[in-house]
Amino acid sequence: MQYFYAPWRSEYHTNKDKSKCVFCDISQTPEKDRENKVLFRDEICFIVMNLYPYNPGHFMVVPHRHLEALEDLPPNEWQHIANLAQKGVKLLKEEFRAQGVNIGMNLGAVAGAGISDHIHLHLIPRFFGDTNFITTIAKSRVFGSDFCAIYEKLLAKSSEYFG
Ligand SMILES: [Zn+2]
């Protein structure tokens, strides 16, 4: 029996201020996009690096609407997010040399969502042989120079793919 592998289980679980929604905060402060590692934003959603990546290059597509239930998202906005995710896969393959990509959502805390009250779609680039690497150090990754370099690399290409 194999269980579905969901490597994005616990992002942002160490966020200190539980009363505030980190995604709404990012949504409402475009002037801090660089600080928050935002790759792209438009009127419907934004794309942001995961600060606790399960692999280098892990980012998320997040609607501006603070919604817990995917089914409450207007269908045209879900379509828009899906379109951006498709472009994100292309970006990860072409510019980040990803050999595979996990995309997915954890809907609800019981499904493993770290931030269960604001839906978000994960994109995680995958590389041959990375599984042990991920499970071993995923919980202890640091926000270091590699992370910033990856952000700059993806940011430089983001308007080409998402714009
Ligand atoms: Zn929110």
| Tens-digit pLDDT profile for residues 120-158 | 999 999 988 777 555 544 444 445 668 889 999 999 999
Strands of the chain, DSSP E:
38-41, 45-49, 59-63, 100-104, 121-126
Quote the domain boundaries for residue 118: 22-157
pLDDT at 1: 34
Mean pLDDT across the chain, nearest whole number? 85
Q: Are 37 and 151 in contact (CB under 8 A)?
A: yes
Of the candidate ranges 45-49, 77-81, 88-92, 108-112, the one whose mean pLDDT is the lowest: 108-112
Q: How far is the CA of 27 from the centre of ligand 1 (A)?
A: 8
- Considering the domain boundaries, does residue 45 fall inside one? yes
What residues are paired with 102 via a beta bridge?
Answer: 124
Angle between helices 75-95 and 145-162 (to 10 degrees): 120
- Considering the domain boundaries, does residue 145 fall inside one? yes
Q: How far is the CA of 127 from the centre of ligand 1 (A)?
A: 31
pLDDT at 129: 79
Q: Which residue has the tokens 């280098």?
A: 56
pTM of the model: 0.83
Residue 4 has pLDDT above 60, yes or no: no
Residue 18 has pLDDT above 50, yes or no: no
Q: How far is the CA of 132 from the centre of ligand 1 (A)?
A: 32
Instruction: At 129, list the tokens.
Output: 């042989």
- Considering the domain boundaries, does residue 162 fall inside one? no
Span 73-98, average pLDDT? 97
- Considering the domain boundaries, does residue 7 fall inside one? no
Calpha distance 157→154 (Å, rounded) = 5
Number of domains in the chain: 1
**3-state DSSP assignment of residue 45:** strand
- Considering the domain boundaries, does residue 94 fall inside one? yes
pLDDT at 133: 53
- Considering the domain boundaries, does residue 15 fall inside one? no
Active site residues: 120
- Considering the domain boundaries, does residue 69 fall inside one? yes
Q: How far is the CA of 45 from the centre of ligand 1 (A)?
A: 12
CATH number at residue 73: 3.30.428.10
- Considering the domain boundaries, does residue 10 fall inside one? no
Q: How far is the CA of 5 from the centre of ligand 1 (A)?
A: 26
Q: 19 pLDDT band (50/70/90 cuts)? A: low
Checking phi first, is residue 111 left (phi over 0); if not, alpha (psi -120 to 50) or beta?
alpha
